[in-house]
Structures are given as C-alpha cells and as structure tokens.
Amino acid sequence: MRLKTILFAIFCVFFINTISAQIPELERIEPANWWVGMKNPKLQLIVHGNRISDRSVTLNYPGVRLLEVHKVENPNYLFLDLEISSETVPGTFSILFEKKKSKTLKYKYELKAREQSDCKFQGVTNKDFIYLIMPDRFSNGDKSNDVVAGMKETSLNRDSMYLRHGGDLKGIINNLDYLQELGVTTLWLNPVLENDQPKTSYHGYANTENYKIDRRYGTNALYKELVDKLHQRGMKMIKDLVHNHVGSEHWTIKDLPSKNWIHQWPEFTRTTYKDQVLFDPYASKKDRLRMTDGWFDLHMPDVDQSNLFVQNYFTQSHIWWIEYAGLDGFRLDTYAYNDPAYMADWAKAITLEYPKFTFFGETWVQGLPNQAFFTEGKTINQGFDSGLQSVTDFQALWGINEALNGKFGWNDGVNKLYTTIASDFIYKDPTKLVVFLDNHDLARFYSVVGEDFNKYKSGIAWLLTTRGIPQFYYGDEILMKGFTNPDGLVRLDFKGGWSGDKENKFTAAGRTEQENEAFNYVKKLANYRKNSTALQTGKLMQFVPEDGTYVYFRYDSSKTVMVVMNSNDKEINLAADRFTERLQGFSKAINVITGESLNTINNFKVPAKTTSVFELK
C-alpha cells in the first residue's frame, strides 16, 4: 500500500479556490480534433476547466455517440468516451457543457477526413540512413522565435551549454539540401514538443504539452511542413517520444486529475536505473518498484501508466501526431522504465492504425540478454511479448568501440564485435536493430577513438555496411568532438547554422581539408549504400577474426560486398583462401571509397587501423 505522500500537496491545490479561479471555465479539450475512418472507433477526450465536472455533457452528430462521462478526483476534469462509426462523415459539431443557472459552455469539435498518400506512414527500414538532430543546436532559421514572451525560460546564450541557442525547425528546412547530399534518408529530431520548463529546456525531454510544438522551434504547421518537404524529397521523419515522464510544468501536473496520474512517494525517490531487476528471477518487488516507478529526475514526474486515462491520453496523442504530420516512425525514449503491459497494448494500437509504421526503443543497457528482453517475439523466454519492433543497439556500440580501441584477444578487440553480431539469434529480426556510434547522451565518436582519423573512418565503414538501420549524430560528418562532462559538450552548435558565424560547415568552402575528407567519406558510403540492396537487405556472413582482422560479407543475388577490418597498428597481408565460401565466382574487386581496382583477391594488403569496403567483380 502506498503511504500518504508529500506530493499529495500538489494534488490538493485544485481544492484551493484561488487556484481554481485562475482556470477558465473551459480551458481545453484534447485531442482538439480527430479523424473519421480510423480503425479504432473509440476516442476519449480529456476536458479541463474550472469545476467542469459540475456540468452535464451532450452532443448531437450523426455517427458519433457519447458512451460515458467519467469524473475523477479533481472536479476540474472530465473524460468523455466517444464512439465514431465507420459511416461518420467529416464535419464539425458542438459539445455542450450545461449547468443550471449558468451559461452553457460550447466547444466546436471537428472530425476531419484522413489524407491519402503513399509517402506517409512509410516506416523506417534497413534501407534508411537516420540523421539525429538536436534542433536547438543545429541551425537558427527564424530569429523571431528565439525568445518567446511569457514562457518560463527566456534565456538565449550560445556561450552557455545549459541555455537555449535558438536553433529551430526553419533552420532544419533551410539545410535539407545539405542532408540529402550527405546521403541521409531519414531525420530523427530530439523531442520538439513544448518544454515550458524554467531551465534547461533545450533538450526537449521534459514536455509540458502533448499536442503543441515548442514555440521556440516553430508551430505545428511548420513541423508538418518540414515532414511534407522531407516526403517530397523521398525522405522520412521519426518523432522522439517520452512515455515514462513529463515535465514538472506539464499542465496536467500543475493541476493533477488524480493522485494516481503520477507515481507518488513519501519523499522524492529516483529510479535506480537498474534494468536487471525487470528480468532477474530473484529480484525483490521493492527493487522492481523503485526501478519502474521512481522518477527519472526532480523535474520529470513519473506518470502512472497503469491508469487507463493516462494510457489513453498518451496513446491518442501519438496517433494524432502520426495522422496530422504524416510521420514514418517513432523513437521511444527511456523504454526500459515503462510499464510493459501498457507498452505492449500501445504497440498494438499504433500498428492497428498504421501497419507499416515502425518504432524503436532506447535500451541503454549492458548485456545482450538485457537488450533482447525488451524486443518483440518472446525470443528469450520473457513470458510476454512487448511488441517492440526494434531497439537502439547499444551492444553493437560497445562492440565497435572495443574493436577499434581494444587489444585483440579471445574475447577482446574485434572479437567482442564479432561475438555481439554472432548473438543475433536472440532477436526476432536483428535487421531492424538501430546501429550507431554515438548520440546526444554519449561522447562524440571522434573523441572516443582518440581523434584517430583512421579509426574514425573505420567505424563509419562498419556503421554503413553492417546489418541493421544505421543512425548518425549531427556533426559527426565534420568531426565534431566532445565528452559528456557535462552533456552540453556533445551538443554544440553546428557552425554556420547562425547568421554571423565566422565559419560555415554546411559548405565545402567553410570546412577544413580533413573535415571535407570526413564529409566526403560519409557521403560516399552513405550514397553507395542507398543504391546497394546488398548493404540494405542482403544477407550477412562473418568469419571468425584472426590476428586482429575481422572479415564479413553482405550479399544478395545482384551484388557481393566484402568488408575487411584491420584493427592492428600495422599493415597486414590478407590471404583470401579462408573466404572461398563467399568468393566463388569472383576474381577482382573495386574499393568502394577510392575506386581503385584489385586485379586479384587471392592475396592483398590492408593498411593499419582501417576498414576497407570492396565490391566484388
């Protein structure tokens, strides 16, 4: 049984007349609109207004039924269950909130027609190359929204790692040519929902609204325009979601619908971040509870996902964004901290409406079974099916880091990477894993490899030729560096994204010779991959590493690509007799990067600390 908590004081504020009086009689209804023709005919509206539960609710529109009106502890809320039949036509109708001796409140609700388009809801596949952008730090395309009056954080200081810098959606739109030239097919933006927090709001992971783009990035319409422009280019958009928590200034936190809207504790209790307790057969209930129900941080209240009203509120907002903007995929933040039963139901709800839509979870864990535990298919005796199609492949990240920085040994160096890939049998579909070298929470890859340019290129070659869906972090193509101490050091501005910048790294002229070499290296491989079915959907065959050298092949009926990773500090002479299983029928090769031809593949030299990519002929 939960104890009475100090957080109960937050809940009690709605009983104080001075607070309630600040809330309009009808403050909002969410979602503010919906669509006809959805597979799920049910819709639950959350209604917020000063003592709105004192009023009766009616509506009259052909094909729409008001099934039930739910009252909760807080009289400022109602939850309306609607059913929308398949025959309902688009249109607008009034929802009436009536009370004796009071003026009737009226809300115009719109049911829209669904847009039909082949370029929407496509899903993200292993044919794609994802580019992760932190919008505040990429490019400022609209100075007018840098500071928004009335918001809790109005700071703007590019010299501070903690304050906002002014990057926005218009800045991303302005640089789509650059991204497409690089070979990017898909954008993943760190969360862009409004974060009206008093400080450190730039990263986006403490949203205060579920249906509104942060005004410092732009508008809902501009976000939709960005997605449309991507689709016009044959590109895609991934939206970053946070199920586990919201910001402390979220409108439902400032006026809690009920005590169990969030997880309550006698005093502030942080999660342990120990994912092991979720699958440990010997774990204590107390440890599990603290892991799942503990707060991620002081300003990030942990929502109670066992609450059905919470579930509907979150799931419907996600469906709304897919339909409104035409999204192609979701990245699910802090996946391990969510309620497994709810997330499985969530996956079914999303897939029901959008069968091609894809989503992958952030599973920042150590250990192959730890990671596989969260994926779909009950492949390692989980006892439940999460429905989670894919995860961020941290195990492959640890593997490539060890391959490039470690000393070759039985379990070390490239052997760790080999063993990680060899363990793909634990997944239902390992080709959906999202592979990466760094992200907004990790040290920059170029710094991880000690700013060794050969190691850098070797890692890029692996990323764009291994199985799975490659994900790249903004600025890695121009050798941005930094360690996460603090995190802001890996979230620096992309030079040239702000008017007045002395350097413009978006242009070849603004980059150094080595930065151009890095950019062109990524561009060459990414665009080659874009046109190579062998690297996209082909099979993989890897060979046991020997003498610090790891060799694998990607192949299909049209092409065979051979990848040779030499992790040694010296050049090696590679004898190809070990690889005849995949070399049959081939006698020559072309180096994908340099274009040089190998007139024989029986025996050839591989430079130190390099990964060579060959197309066999």
Point out the catalytic residue in the list 168, 302, 333, 477.
333
User: What local confidence, expressed as pLDDT, does residue 604 receive?
Assistant: 87
Each residue of 431-470: pLDDT tens digit? 999 999 999 999 999 999 999 999 999 999 999 999 999 9
Q: Are residues 546 and 494 in the same domain?
A: no
Q: Label residue 568 by pLDDT band (50, 70, 90).
A: very high
Give the whole-number percent of the chain exceeding pLDDT 90.
Answer: 94
- Does a structural domain hold residue 159? yes
Q: How confident is the model at residue 117 (pLDDT cuts 50, 70, 90)?
A: confident
Question: Contact at 8 Å (CB) between 348 and 321?
Answer: no
554 with 450, same domain? no
Other C-beta atoms closer than 10 Å to the C-beta of 91 total 15
Q: Tens digits of per-residue pLDDT, 8-59?
A: 444 444 343 445 668 999 999 999 999 999 999 999 999 999 999 999 999 9
**Mean pLDDT for the stretch of residues 86-93:** 98
CB atoms within 10 A of CB 125: 18
Alpha helices in 445-558 (DSSP H): 445-448, 453-463, 513-530, 533-536
Question: Which of 136, 209, 362, 402 is the catalytic position?
Answer: 362
CATH (domain of 590): 2.60.40.1180
Final residue belonging to a domain, choices 497, 531, 565: 531
Residue 410: the pLDDT is 94
> 435 and 552, same structural domain?
no
374 touches 395 (CB < 8 A): no
Task: Look up tokens 């939850």; give the residue.
Answer: 79
Q: Say if 504 falls within a structural domain.
A: yes
In the chain, what is the straight-line distance between the N-terminal and C-terminal CA atoms, in Å? 69
Q: Are residues 517 and 588 in the same domain?
A: no
User: Do residues 172 and 217 share a domain?
Assistant: yes
The residue range of the domain holding 334 is: 130-531
Q: Using DSSP, state whether 572 is helix, strand or coil.
A: strand
425-440 pLDDT, tens digit each? 999 999 999 999 999 9
In sequence order, which residues have a C-beta less than 8 Å from that of residue 206 and are 6 or more positions away?
Answer: 195, 197, 245, 246, 247, 248, 299, 300
Q: Mean of the per-residue pLDDT values for the chain?
A: 95
Distance CA 176, CA 174 (A): 6
The structure tokens 């070797």 sit at 458
Structural domains in the chain (count): 3
pLDDT at 20: 63
Please name which of 430, 435, 332, 347 lies closest in space to residue 386, comparing C-alpha atoms.
347
Which has the closest alpha carbon to 124: 441, 397, 427, 392? 392
Task: Note whether 237 and 262 are same-domain residues.
Answer: yes
pLDDT at 116: 85
Can you give the pLDDT at residue 19? 56
Helix, coil or strand: residue 584: coil
Q: What is the pLDDT of residues 307-338, one digit of tens each?
A: 999 999 999 999 999 999 999 999 999 999 99
Residue 162 lies in a domain: yes
Domain of 51: which CATH number? 2.60.40.10
Q: Token pair of 386, please?
A: 């999460």
* pLDDT reported for residue 9: 43
* pTM reported for the whole predicted model: 0.96
Q: Are residues 165 and 43 in the same domain?
A: no
Residues 320 and 450 in one domain: yes
Is 115 part of the annotated catalytic residue set? no
Q: What is the mean pLDDT of residues 363-369?
A: 97
Same domain, 246 and 147: yes
Angstrom distance (rounded) from CA 315 to CA 307: 12
Mean pLDDT of 346-363: 98
Separation CA 391–CA 8 (nearest Å): 36
Residue 457: give its domain's CATH number.
Answer: 3.20.20.80
Q: Residue 158: in which H helix or E strand, if any? A: none
Domain boundary residue among 500, 531, 562?
531
362 is a catalytic site residue: yes
Average pLDDT on 234-255 reads: 98
- Predicted confidence (pLDDT) per residue in 477-524, tens digit: 999 999 999 999 999 999 999 999 999 999 999 999 999 999 999 999
